[in-house]
Structure formats: structure tokens, C-alpha cells
Structure 1
Amino acid sequence: MNEEIQFILDSAKENMDAAMRHLEKEFVKIRAGKASPAMLSSVMVEYYGSQTPLSQVANINTPDGRTLSVQPWEKNMLHEIEKAIMNSNLGFNPMNNGDFVIINVPPLTEERRIQLTKQAKAEAEDAKVGIRSARQDANKEIRDLDVSEDLQKNAEVDVQALTDKYIKKVDAFLTVKEAEIMKV
């Protein structure tokens, strides 16, 4: 196979891998009943005048499956952390005990599970869009090459096979996440 075509295929595969990695990160943020430090990954805290990720100003632990504890490295940050968690729209009600912030993760209601499933489907669709975009870019690059029509057609078939493989991965990943969310 032509080196240029192989390079284009490798590039498309990298872009599709990037879409999958992004999907994995987004799925970690969608909670499925158990408490996880990743649930607070989007929380930003006001720290000496700048917005800083919570994980950079405190330790986040899960003492049990329904509780998160946030222990700041500086005691004077307790109120800021509590305020940031409340303002983050995660639906948590943090409690400050003077040493750290405790968050009881409420069990998911059926309605909330359906919302989270829809959110997971939207993230999966975004990943599919990224994969299809990588396919489109690869096909455009292949058409721009100065090679025979047969080589172009074969390369486009290879790109489509790669695309189908990644779309199936996204669907399988979504099925697992949906089952995890809906499990009571």
C-alpha cells in the first residue's frame, strides 16, 4: 500500500482514538449510583483570585459508596469549596464539619437515571460525529492524492471499515454505560 495512504489511515485512526478517549472522560463524569472523585472533576474553586480545579486545592476521597469527602490543603478554603460544589449544578448538598467537606451522594431517582441516559447518548453521538469527521477528512485527503482510482477506492473502503469498527465500539460502550446507569 502507498505510504501516503497508510499515513492518512493512521492519522484517521488517531483522530478516532481521540474521540473514544474523550467519550471515556465524559462517561466518567456521568455518575451511575456510586460515589466517585471524578464526579467533582468539573468543580472550579476561587483560589487566590483565579478559578482552580477542586483537585488542585484538596484531596477528594470516597470513604464508602455513597459518600465523598473533600479535605482542603488550607483550612480557610472550606467555605470556598462548599460554595463551589453548590454552584456546580451537580445536585449535591455539601456539609462542612470544620475539617473537611462531606457530600452524601443521593440515590438516583428513575427520572434522573433517564436524564443521565439521555446525556450518555448525547455524548456517544458527539463521539460518533468526531469519528465521522475523521473519516470525512481522511477521504478528502485520499481524493487529493495523486494515485490511481483503484488505490483511492481501496483506501476509502479501508477508512469506512475503520469508521464502522469505531462506531461499534461507541455503541458497545454506550450499552454498558446505560446498563450501569439504569441498574438500581
Structure 2
Amino acid sequence: MSQTFDLAELKRRMQGAVATLKHELGGLRTGRASASLVEPIHVDAYGQHTPLNQVATISVPEPRLIAVQVWDKALVGAVERAIRDSNLGLNPNVEGQTLRIRTPELNEQRRKELVKVAHKYAEESRVAVRHVRRDGIDILKKLLKDHAIPEDDEKRHAVEVQKATDDVIHEIDALLATKEKEIMQI
């Protein structure tokens, strides 16, 4: 099977990393409870890493309270552990199969912790984008080696891939800066 170079496909994959970052940053709430705060959390369920919303119903009955209704009684402990280990500073109270999570007031230290989490999410997105760039460059090198494209085309496409990468990294940095400003605002 011969590979083909498709810049549009590489850009689509890079935008996937941006979409994931937007979703994760949306979960970093600045003072209000939100279901998206706990949605990125994964639970060790049935021997797999499963998203929280696939093992429980997440609701927000009050502005500072998240309720997680676990469907399988055997998973309550795993869900509680996953929430505690999520670096979000959440401490669930277990009531049967329901976990009640009070969202803490944001003090200066908590805001700084949230900014660190936001930076971690952004770095994961940058790494994902760089992986896509590497895949694209590898395809170009292989096509050049197989004499499927001339050297000029390989160089031109490599520059296009790098420009697309730079644009997406810039977009990620802008999203991070906006979220950081939002978190630190009192």
C-alpha cells in the first residue's frame, strides 16, 4: 500500500488536538460547579480506562455541587478514587451509589493549581500536534525515498506542514492564555 501526502488530513488531525484541549479547558471551572469539570476523568472499570460519563450520570443540582450517580455499585470505589486522583482538588462524599462533590471556593493557591492543570493540558495538545507533524514529515521522507515525489515537492510540503504546526501551536497558546486569565480573575 503506497502512502499519500494529504495536508488537509494532517490539519484535521491537528485541529482534533485543539478540540480536545478546548473540551478539557472547558472543564476547568473558575468557581461554579460544572459537569464538564469531571467529564475528562477516566475510571479503571472492567479492566479498561473508561471515561466517567460512560459509567455514571453527572449532574449539577446546585451551583457549587456536582452529583455523580454511578450505575454499577461495584465501581463506586473506583470512581471515587479516580476523582480524588484527578489533580482537580475535588473531594467526593459517597452516599450509596451517588458521589456528591462540593466545588471549593477558588483561593489564590487553588487558582494556581488550576493554571498548572491548564498548562499540562496545553502541553499534551502541543505534543499531539508535534506527533501529527512528525507523521506528515515521515510520509514525505518515505515518498521521496521511493521516488514518488521530487525533492522540491518534499521540501515545499515540509514547509507547509511546519507552517500548519506553528499555526495550531499558536492557537493552543492563545487558548491557554485566555483560560489562564479567566482562572486568575477574581
Q: Tell me the TM-score normalized by structure 2.
A: 0.73
Q: Deviations over 1:127-175 (max 9, x none)?
A: 1122122112212211222222221221111111111110111011111
Q: What amino acid does structure 1 have at the position aligned with 2:112? A: I
Percent identity, aligned pairs only, is: 33
Give the 3-state SS of the residue equivalent to 2:60 in structure 1. strand
Asked if 1:24 corresponds to 2:22, the answer is yes
Tell me which of 128, 133, 136 is aligned to 2:134.
136
Cα deviation, residue 14, structure 1: 2.8
> Distance between the aligned counterparts of 1:183 and 1:16, measured in 2?
30
**Structure 1 contact 45–54 (Cα < 8 Å) conserved:** no
Asked if 1:92 corresponds to 2:94, the answer is no
Cα deviation, residue 92, structure 1: 2.2
> Distance between the aligned counterparts of 2:54 and 2:129, measured in 1?
32
> Distance between the aligned counterparts of 2:126 and 2:49, measured in 1?
32
* RMSD of Structure 2 on Structure 1 (CA): 3.3
The answer for unaligned runs of 5 or more in structure 2 is: none
> Distance between the aligned counterparts of 1:51 and 1:125, measured in 2?
21
Q: Deviations over 1:21-79 (max 9, x none)?
A: 332333234332210112233264979x99976545654322332122345669xx5x9
Matches within 5 A, 1:63-102: 63-71=61-69, 77=73, 81=76, 84-85=79-80, 88-89=83-84, 90-94=89-93, 96=95, 101-102=99-100
Give the 3-state SS of the residue equivalent to 1:125 in structure 2. helix
Q: What does residue 162 of structure 1 align with?
A: 164
**Structure 1 contact 30–120 (Cα < 8 Å) conserved:** yes
> Distance between the aligned counterparts of 1:129 and 1:43, measured in 2?
20
> Distance between the aligned counterparts of 1:114 and 1:65, measured in 2?
22
**Structure 1 contact 86–93 (Cα < 8 Å) conserved:** no
Asked if 1:110 corresponds to 2:111, the answer is no
Q: Which has the larger radius of gyration?
A: 1
Name the CA shift for 1:73/1:87 in 2 (closer, same or farther; >3 Å): closer
